[in-house]
A and B are shown apart, each in its own frame.
Chain A
Amino acid sequence: MDTGDLLFSRESVQNPNAKEIGDLKADLYMKSYNLMGYDAFTPGDLDLSFGVGEIVKMSQQANFPFLAANLIDTKSNKRVFKPYVIKEIQGIKVGLFGLISNRFSLGGPPEEKDKFQITDPFEAAKKIVGTLKKRCRVIVALAHMEADEQKMLATNVHGIHFVINGHLTHAHQDPQLVAHTQVLIAGSRGEYLGQVDLFKQKRKLLSRYQLNPLKTEYKEKPEVQAWVGEYKDQLQCVLKPSIVVAERPKGSTDSSTPISVPELVSFIGDKGCQTCHPREHEHWATTAHARAYQTLVAKNKASDASCLPCHTTGFGAPREPGARFENVQCEACHGAAEGHPDPRKELEDAEEHECRACHNATNSPNFNFDIYVQKIIHPK
């Protein structure tokens, strides 16, 4: 099963071509999930960015149900998706039901406005759990919601054995026990698969939880490899180039000449920093950060919106979300330089947690802050 926020990250959903990219990804994921034998999916707020209609279309490609007990078509007052599914495995009946937080707003085209509604998830959960209790030995909530809401769910709705969280992205090695419910959080970006093993011991049913890191040593399925290749080819067709390269006006060699920076306002680009910080810029140009964009080009992923935030600078910034500068430039670590060198706009060094946003277990498994930071500190 999957608990949502499948198609987009907060940054990639801002890409001007996000909807087209999302369509390609929906096709790729549904084919792959069908092959893997997924049993259920509950959409998250990011999946709903372009409207409920898009997710209904996606569900039609799936061989498994989409679950949402509290996503309602306001005209018919019926649920858009099934609220639950019951799976009987080895004689154990497991009830899976889906919930989406009603704090999230639904995106989508104007014609969908007021057509759908996310209702109170706790009220919906009470009704569904009441039904499932009569029929199932194990009850699992696929809950796309925030931390305090999942605690409220576990505390106020009795009978849920596991709350599997979507939305929260920091993986927890162990279950969080809230009342009699285990809350499970398996991280983000496919770094882990969560796994609950249930086993019978006399009349009792016991459970054991583990997080499985998805490392690169797992072999690819040939079918999926072929689909990923098709996806990459199609991706190139839908994307419109929006890389911005800061350049001085033609014919100008004077470093004091203002740099033309089309579209971007808050980020000035490395050439802008070089004017006053030539030594630091020279050092930066020798680091891996200065080649970060080329690694995407080499892998034919230079237009993948899920990769761009960590290989460019400024991508996803509020003013021009689709624009960015190539590579991890000065402003990726020191912040947007608009207004600098005004004394009120002092720039600061990045903190470790900001580095770890990109140097995560999947993309940078050997990352050691103390060692890596030495490679980018500018010489005095």
Chain B
Amino acid sequence: MKNLLLGILLILTFAAPLWGQAPSLKPDQGVSLVFSSNIQGEVEPCG
């Protein structure tokens, strides 16, 4: 019984901080595709 409680405590201690977290995004491992469209001759806002 004592070992079982100790086991549950260990699981909660290490697993709890991970619960409910979104997967981490590592910018150095990601790829971004960036695009523009239909610029239509705009160089800067007209005013």
Binding site for B on A (CB under 8 A): 1-9, 12, 21-22, 25, 28-29, 44, 46, 89-90, 92, 94, 140, 142, 162, 164-169, 184-190, 193-201, 206, 216, 228, 231, 295-296, 298-299, 301, 304-307, 310-311, 362-363
Closest residue to B32 on the A side, CB-wise? A197
Taking CB atoms, residues of chain A closer than 8 Å to B25 are 197, 199
A-B contact pairs, 10 of them (CB 8 A): A1-B35, A4-B37, A46-B40, A165-B37, A186-B38, A194-B35, A194-B36, A198-B32, A200-B30, A201-B23
Considering the chains assembled together, what is the distance between the CA atoms of A12 and B39 in angstroms? 12
Q: Are B31 and A189 neighbours in the complex by a CB distance under 8 Å?
A: no
Q: Are B37 and A12 neighbours in the complex by a CB distance under 8 Å?
A: no
Q: Are B46 and A198 neighbours in the complex by a CB distance under 8 Å?
A: no
Q: Are A167 and B38 neighbours in the complex by a CB distance under 8 Å?
A: yes
A217 to B: closest C-beta gap in Å = 13
Task: Identify which of A1, A4, A90, A185 contacts B33 (C-beta below 8 A).
Answer: A1
Given that A199-B25, A301-B46, A363-B45 are known contacts, is A12 also in contact with B40, CB under 8 Å in the complex? yes
Q: Are B37 and A185 neighbours in the complex by a CB distance under 8 Å?
A: yes
Considering the chains assembled together, what is the distance between the CA atoms of A206 and B22 in angstroms? 13
Q: Are A92 and B31 neighbours in the complex by a CB distance under 8 Å?
A: yes
Considering the chains assembled together, what is the distance between the CA atoms of A187 and B37 in angstroms? 7
Taking CB atoms, residues of chain B closer than 8 Å to A22 are 41
Q: Are B30 and A311 neighbours in the complex by a CB distance under 8 Å?
A: no
Closest residue to A1 on the B side, CB-wise? B35
At the interface, yes or no: B2 with Cβ under 8 Å from chain A? no
Closest residue to B44 on the A side, CB-wise? A228
Task: Identify which of B30, B32, B35, B42 contacts A164 (C-beta below 8 A).
Answer: B35
Q: Are B43 and A94 neighbours in the complex by a CB distance under 8 Å?
A: no
Taking CB atoms, residues of chain B closer than 8 Å to A310 are 46
Q: Are A305 and B41 neighbours in the complex by a CB distance under 8 Å?
A: yes
Q: Are A90 and B35 neighbours in the complex by a CB distance under 8 Å?
A: no
Q: Are A166 and B38 neighbours in the complex by a CB distance under 8 Å?
A: yes
Q: Are B47 and A195 neighbours in the complex by a CB distance under 8 Å?
A: no
Given that A3-B37, A8-B40 are known contacts, is A195 also in contact with B46, CB under 8 Å in the complex? no
Q: Are B40 and A299 neighbours in the complex by a CB distance under 8 Å?
A: no
A2 to B: closest C-beta gap in Å = 5
Considering the chains assembled together, what is the distance between the CA atoms of A216 and B44 in angstroms? 9
Taking CB atoms, residues of chain A closer than 8 Å to B40 are 5-9, 12, 46, 169, 188-189, 306
Given that A89-B31, A199-B30 are known contacts, is A5 also in contact with B38, CB under 8 Å in the complex? yes
Interface flags, B1-29, vs A, CB<8A=1, else 0: 00000000000000000000001011011
